[in-house]
Structure 1
Amino acid sequence: MTDSTQPRTRLMDAVERAGFYPDLVNQTLQQALGDVEPLEFLVNVDMHFDMEQMHRHITVLMVTDAWFVVAHLDGSADEDSDEASARIATEVVPLKRVRSVVLSTSHAKPEHGFHPDHVQEVELAVAWGQNMRIDVGPASCGDPNCDIEHGLTGNQFPEDLLIRVAEKASGAMAVQKALSFGQTLRTAWLKANA
Structure 2
Amino acid sequence: MTQAAVSVRQELRADIESCGFFPDLVEDGILLAAADEPVLGFLVHYEPTFDRDEFHRHLTVLALTQTRLLVGHTDDHAVEGRDNRTYASSSTESIAIRNINTVVLTRVVSDPEHFRPAESPVEETWLSIGWGAMRRMDLEPASCSDPECEADHGYTGNLVADDLTIRMSPAANGAERVARLVRFASDLQRAAAL
TM-score, structure 1 as length reference: 0.86
**Map of 1:185 onto structure 2:** 188
Change (3 A) 1:176 1:145: farther
Structure 1 spans left out of the alignment, 5+ residues: none
Partner SS state of residue 172, structure 2: helix
Distance in 2 separating the partners of 1:85 and 1:40: 29
Residue pair 1:48, 1:56 contacting (<8 A) in 2 also: yes
Among 149, 154, 167, which residue is 2:157 paired with?
A: 154
Change (3 A) 1:111 1:147: same
Among 103, 108, 111, which residue is 1:109 paired with?
A: 111
**Map of 1:20 onto structure 2:** 21
2:133 is the alignment partner of 1:130: yes
Partner SS state of residue 176, structure 1: helix
Change (3 A) 1:138 1:30: same
Q: Which residue identity does 2:123 align to in structure 1? A: Q
Distance in 2 separating the partners of 1:158 and 1:42: 21
TM-score, structure 2 as length reference: 0.86
Q: What is the Cα-based RMSD across aligned positions, in Å?
A: 2.4
Bigger shift: 164-173 or 77-86? Answer: 77-86
Percent sequence identity over aligned pairs: 36
Q: Which residue identity does 1:37 align to in structure 2? A: P
Deviation for aligned residue 1:124: 0.8
Deviation for aligned residue 1:47: 2.1
Distance in 1 separating the partners of 2:161 and 2:144: 27
Q: How many residues align?
A: 189
Q: Which residue identity does 1:158 align to in structure 2? A: A
Residue pair 2:75, 2:89 contacting (<8 A) in 1 also: yes
Distance in 1 separating the partners of 2:105 and 2:97: 16
Change (3 A) 1:8 1:133: same
Residue pair 1:77, 1:85 contacting (<8 A) in 2 also: yes
Residue pair 2:79, 2:87 contacting (<8 A) in 1 also: no
**Map of 1:7 onto structure 2:** 8
Deviation for aligned residue 1:6: 1.1
Q: Counterparts in 2 of 1:86-101, with a 5 A limit?
A: 86-101=88-103
Q: Which residue identity does 1:92 align to in structure 2? A: S
Bigger shift: 31-40 or 13-22? Answer: 31-40
